[in-house]
Amino acid sequence: MKTLKNKPTLSRHASGMTVLALAIASLPAYAADKAAVLDTVDVIGTGAPAYKPETASMGPLGEKSVLDTPYAINVVPAELLENQQLKSVREAFRYMPSVQGENIRPQTRGLQAGVVQNTRIDGMNIAATTDYPIEQFDRIEVLNGLAGALYGPASPAGTFNYVLKRPTETPLRRFSLGYASRGSGSVSADISDRFGEDKRFGFRVNLLDEGGESYVDRSKLDRKLASLAFDVQLTSDTKLETNISRYHYTSKGLPGTFELGTGVAYPAAPDPKRVGYGQPFAGDDNVTETYSARLKHRLNQNWNVTAGILKQSSDRASTVPTNTLTNNAGAYSVKVATTTFSLDEILSYNLALNGRVNAAGMTHDIVVSTTGFEWDRYSPYTTGAIGLGTSNLNNPTVFNQPGNIPNFKNRYKAQTTRQQAITVGDTVGFNEQWSAGLYLSKSWIDQSGNNPNGSIAPGKYYNDSGLSSNATVSYKPQKNTTVYASYADSLQQGETSGTSTTAPYRSKQWELGYKHAFEKVNVGAALFQIERPFAYVQNGVFAVQGDQRNRGLELTANGALTRNLTMYGGLTYLDPRLLNTASATTAGKQIMGLSRIVSNILLDYRIAAVPGLAVNLNVSHAGSRQGDSTNSYKVDGYTVADLGARYSTLLMGRPTTWRLAINNVTDELYWANITPSGQNGYTGTGAGTGTLGAPRTIRASMQMDF
């Protein structure tokens, strides 16, 4: 029987709120006077948010115009992240229809990312398998498709770059209180200032304390963040940016993942709020610590050099349940502690020299760069899934916590991967209309697997190298329009299953794109085809035994449609096929778990009659998906609508914004994702892993600037 003392309440976090409030109060007072406050108030309610990003970080190429860059790029800006009350990077992915990332490693164009190769903070590699709080990031950037020539060997799943908040030019003292369904409370602070001669020093602090019960009875969700960005303007041409953060994420009692036994199909999605699809003691307990520094130096008007280094420790104690459906009547078995690795340590770095040369009436934008990482993975000495028992979807069972959960911190170094790439490139501007680019990278990959006694595991050593390339042609019929074509081929580390390892994969992509910037709206279209080898286990052998070909069309639009109405969203059509397989049951079939049509549209409307009041509607849609690799049945798609409102005003003379959101307002039951069991294929049965979408939830917050 549940007692009152076990019920999370806002009072549990009163001490955390007090500490943050005192931290804000103890900081130096604003240099600004009342006039500055009035200037802030003047902008309240004067128009809809822009949601129209103009630039993006392009790795070794530096900050580039989205319009002029011959790639499909999505940027979720800070204002959207804040207004939608997002809590994690994974939640931001839903606003980009070509991206999937909720409860799985992120992917674009129907291809899964690697654990480290595709995901970055400020251009440096990080782990994709842990949770990241949205509160420390200014924006989320995604380059769709292949980018090995720029970033080094990686899956063709795209490049995901999370851009940290930097110190602001004017003082910032922002304090927020939040509430979520079932009594979860949060408090956060975003504080920034500059000091010293000519304000050469700048800092930005983000603090977060959230905890309580999530949408399942007896569940738990805790998030704690401490993040510091500190900048030093060493000279007028040299700037040092440093960052340090620690994030503790705990989630227990939410639904686990669902797998299939032989001959079993995915049923209609069950209600994720029911206790028993997860277990109150089971889930994630992750601590992620990240340290980074970047040095930016301007050599002269045309040339710049940038160097960066990042160190990350992702410590995970994962007991997320795996529910394996054993028949089509809803029976399933439950196991926990299924993950192999409990700690990822990553040291990543980059160095880039880029600049412009004018010669023979043409411009040359040249880049020479290197990027790489060393990635160590640690496994507990005791591993192996722990069976809890059997249950049924119609009457899920809550099990007692077993006594043999492994000690996740008693572990050994099980795997080391080193990767290095050197890139050279040139974009030639022939005139104001035509340009062409060519980028080449030479890459080296080295991996070794270890036994618990430290010896190298048989079949787990890997060493290879190769080239990746990218060629582009761009035409600008007018200054606000770009038409481009590109070809890319990219190296990717081979995959290991059991004692077998494949050779490096090589993916190829063709893309034709169009971008147009109206006065207040950006639109874009990209037509693409990606091909890559497809590996899976058949007759007991893990090897490349087919090819995957994904063809598709991406349409995007974002910006202010009118003075009061903003749109951010798009639509993706995808045709993913498995070709040239040895089995007639899979040849020519669609890749499992991928919808042909995916769209997301966010509309934000300012109500002019009530200054400061705005409402928004976000609609996410995914069509039906193939449930297995033989296309024997389909899993239903979904349409999920979120409603929100915000009101900006003065409270005690301080700019204040109130926000309310009702997510999944119709309480749709749906499978959020169904993914193959391997990054580059499936491992024998063709079955994948399913995750449930969240039910109707409420979020409310009050944000005040001091």
pLDDT in tens, 103-153: 778 889 999 888 999 999 999 999 999 999 999 999 999 999 999 999 999
- Sequence-separated (6 or more) residues with CB below 8 Å from residue 528: 72, 109, 144, 145, 509, 510, 511, 512, 550, 551, 552, 553, 554
Which of helix, strand or coil describes residue 670? coil
Most distant CA atoms of the chain, gap in Å? 82
Amino acid making up residue 27: L
The model's pTM is 0.92
Kindly indicate the confidence band of residue 175, based on its pLDDT and cuts at 50, 70 and 90.
Answer: very high
DSSP string, 425-484: EEEEE-SSSEEEEEEEEEEEEEEEEB-TTSPBPTT--EEEEEEEEEEEEEE-SSTTEEEE
Lowest mean pLDDT among 143-157, 466-480, 486-500: 486-500
| Selection from 444, 323, 467, 465 nearest residue 388 by Cα | 323
pLDDT number for residue 11: 39
pLDDT in tens, 542-561: 677 788 999 999 999 999 99
Q: Are strands 362-380 and 322-325 parallel, antiparallel or unpaired?
A: unpaired
What span, in angstroms and rounded, lies between the C-alpha atoms of 468 and 439? 8
pLDDT number for residue 533: 87
Mean pLDDT of 264-291: 96
Lowest mean pLDDT among 237-251, 403-417, 485-499, 638-652: 485-499
Contact 206, 165 (CB under 8 A): yes
pLDDT number for residue 225: 98
pLDDT number for residue 181: 86
pLDDT number for residue 300: 95
Lowest mean pLDDT among 12-16, 283-287, 467-471: 12-16
What span, in angstroms and rounded, lies between the C-alpha atoms of 210 and 228? 18
pLDDT number for residue 186: 97
| Selection from 275, 283, 277, 206 nearest residue 252 by Cα | 283
| 183 phi-psi bin (left φ>0, alpha ψ -120 to 50, beta other) | left
Kindly indicate the confidence band of residue 496, based on its pLDDT and cuts at 50, 70 and 90.
Answer: low
What span, in angstroms and rounded, lies between the C-alpha atoms of 227 and 289? 10
Cβ count near 620 (within 10 Å): 23
pLDDT number for residue 7: 40
Average pLDDT, the chain: 89
Percent of the chain topping pLDDT 90: 77
Mean pLDDT of 13-42: 40
pLDDT number for residue 503: 67
- Say how far residue 406 (Cα) sits from the centre of its chain: 29
Amino acid making up residue 210: E
Kindly indicate the confidence band of residue 679, based on its pLDDT and cuts at 50, 70 and 90.
Answer: low
What span, in angstroms and rounded, lies between the C-alpha atoms of 260 and 263? 8
With 90 as the cut, is the pLDDT of residue 428 above it? yes
With 60 as the cut, is the pLDDT of residue 87 above it? yes
pLDDT number for residue 686: 53
Contact 580, 548 (CB under 8 A): no
Give the pair of three-digit tokens for residue 558.
Answer: 């974002």
Of the two residues 412 and 682, the one the predictor is more confident about is 412
Of the two residues 496 and 190, the one the predictor is more confident about is 190
Percent of the chain topping pLDDT 70: 89
pLDDT number for residue 587: 86
Mean pLDDT of 385-400: 96
With 90 as the cut, is the pLDDT of residue 85 above it? yes
pLDDT number for residue 572: 97
With 50 as the cut, is the pLDDT of residue 78 above it? yes
- Say how far residue 204 (Cα) sits from the centre of its chain: 22
Contact 353, 421 (CB under 8 A): no
Q: What torsion, rounded to 10 degrees, do the Cα atoms 125, 128, 131, 137 define?
A: 40
Contact 397, 415 (CB under 8 A): no
pLDDT number for residue 585: 83
What span, in angstroms and rounded, lies between the C-alpha atoms of 640 and 222? 26
Give the pair of three-digit tokens for residue 443.
Answer: 């890459």
Lowest mean pLDDT among 111-115, 327-331, 355-359, 474-478: 111-115
Mean pLDDT of 306-335: 96
With 80 as the cut, is the pLDDT of residue 325 above it? yes
pLDDT number for residue 545: 77
pLDDT number for residue 427: 97
Give the pair of three-digit tokens for residue 374.
Answer: 């060393």
Give the pair of three-digit tokens for residue 208.
Answer: 């977060």
Mean pLDDT of 312-327: 95
Kindly indicate the confidence band of residue 540, based on its pLDDT and cuts at 50, 70 and 90.
Answer: low
- Sequence-separated (6 or more) residues with CB below 8 Å from residue 641: 617, 618, 619, 620, 664, 665, 666
pLDDT number for residue 100: 84
Of the two residues 627 and 541, the one the predictor is more confident about is 627
Amino acid making up residue 262: T
pLDDT number for residue 615: 98
Kindly indicate the confidence band of residue 499, based on its pLDDT and cuts at 50, 70 and 90.
Answer: low
pLDDT number for residue 311: 98
Kindly indicate the confidence band of residue 582, based on its pLDDT and cuts at 50, 70 and 90.
Answer: confident
Kindly indicate the confidence band of residue 5, based on its pLDDT and cuts at 50, 70 and 90.
Answer: very low
Q: Measured in Å, how far apart are the chain's first and last C-alpha atoms?
A: 44
| Selection from 278, 274, 308 nearest residue 293 by Cα | 308
Kindly indicate the confidence band of residue 50, based on its pLDDT and cuts at 50, 70 and 90.
Answer: confident
Contact 241, 124 (CB under 8 A): no
Of the two residues 696 and 41, the one the predictor is more confident about is 696
Mean pLDDT of 661-688: 78
